[in-house]
Structure 1
Amino acid sequence: MRAIGGIWRWRHNPLRRGTDLAEAWVALSALLLICLVAPVVGSLVGGAAQGVLQRSVREQHESRHEVTAIVVRKAAAPPLETDPETVTGREIRTRVVARWSAPDGTAEQGTVLSGLKTPHSGDRFGMWTDAHGRPVARPLDSATATTHAVLAGLGAALLLAGAVEGGRRMIVWRMVRRRYARWDQAWDRAGPDWGRTGAGS
């Protein structure tokens, strides 16, 4: 709003310099870009990210299979770990030696993370495998993908707004430097006559 007020104020002011009006127009242009273009860019980037991430969610759900594993024994490695694939990233997982069947029926065994806090031999838990029965991370869920897409769109909008504001500041800085240089030149020209106005010399 200051930009609009600045343009209006300087329109017919006799003290108006060309640079004053130019600064007001630069500020108004930056404001319009930030208020109108940045949200559109953010929306487009967020929409594109949403499409890519949701496609990834579908592909992961098609290629990964949830199977039931049976605990053979507790693993000797570190007892508790956090699962980075969960929404909060704080779900405690216990490392165990387990056996399970691959989607094609092949028997598999190995050390995996389970959601059991105190696992005992024979306990059952769900885990994710690929088509060959190898343990994989759980597939990305749709809500998490949407959150990432929203963050991508917001980041793009903020990045554009920051770039526009940085560009505005750079343009104004250069205009002010040019104005000061012109003032210096004017003072240099007036320098020899400084203080002698009306002295009749």
Structure 2
Amino acid sequence: MGPSGAASGFDRLRRRFGFDHNALRRDVDRRQWMLGIALLMLFLSLAPPLCAWAGRSVYASGVRAERQERATRHEVSATVLRVEDMRSGRKVTVTWREPDGTARTGSFTAFHGGTAGQRREVWVGPSSQVTDEAPRHHTRTVGDTLTVALGSAMALGMPLLGLYLIIRYRCDQRRYRLWDAEWARFGTRRIP
């Protein structure tokens, strides 16, 4: 009686990936298996440091941008002076008063501009640069970090997968030639 449950599933998986001493396996099967394992080991040894390096640099850059934007931008209530349609979005010109009472005017590009005379909250940066975007949130930094880390793993893995598919194609071609030769030899045998 054979193993049951998880043990039989593991045994089946082990045989499927070539971890057995099957006498019917050909050299081409063993070569393909060894090259596949080598490419997998290469990926597993290079992907974690690459992902960590890329993620760390993007995270540090994002945290610097968060701090810089929080330190240099402040929110003001502004009045829309005019809205001009552009090819992409709208140019919104606003006026506001700084905390010291100085009147300022600036413009920014937005997708929803509003109408003249409308009040809206805007963010003012250095040199009175106006934007309707709040300072960068930490969730954006985390999202960018995860995206770059996974993207770098994919950028490393796709060429290795392509190489494995080429190896598999070549091994399949070799297997087909061996199979045809075996059938040709079998067809020439005499049956007593």
TM-score range, shorter chain: 0.5 to 0.7
Paired residue for 2:156? 160
Gaps of 5+ in 1: 83-93
Bigger helix share = 2
Paired residue for 2:129? 134
Counterparts of 2:128 and 2:64, CA distance in 1: 23
Shift of 1:141: 1.9
Paired residue for 1:151? 147
Shift of 1:122: 8.2
Shift of 1:26: 2.3
Residues 122, 30 of structure 1: alpha-carbon distance in 2 compared, 3 angstrom cutoff: closer
Counterparts of 2:19 and 2:108, CA distance in 1: 69
Correspondence list, 1:1-201, <5 A: 4-5=14-15, 6-9=17-20, 11=21, 13=23, 15-33=24-42, 37-62=46-71, 64-71=72-79, 73=81, 75-77=82-84, 97-101=93-97, 106-111=102-107, 121=117, 123=119, 125-136=120-131, 137-180=133-176, 195=188
Work out whether residues 79 and 117 of structure 2, in 8 Å CA contact, stay in contact via their aligned partners in 1. Answer: yes
Matched length:
175
Q: Deviations over 1:82-111 (max 9, x none)?
A: 8xxxxxxxxxxx976532246897532244
Residues 196, 68 of structure 1: alpha-carbon distance in 2 compared, 3 angstrom cutoff: closer
Residues 131, 156 of structure 1: alpha-carbon distance in 2 compared, 3 angstrom cutoff: same
Shift of 1:21: 1.0
Counterparts of 1:173 and 1:3, CA distance in 2: 22
Q: Deviations over 1:128-180 (max 9, x none)?
A: 22321121444322211111111111122233333322221111222333455
Percent identity, aligned pairs only, is 22
- Give the letter for the 1:153 counterpart: A
Counterparts of 1:40 and 1:103, CA distance in 2: 48
TM-score if structure 2 supplies the norm length?
A: 0.63
Gaps of 5+ in 2: 1-9
Counterparts of 1:66 and 1:99, CA distance in 2: 15
Cα RMSD of the aligned pairs, angstroms, is 4.3
Paired residue for 1:90? none
Counterparts of 1:3 and 1:169, CA distance in 2: 20
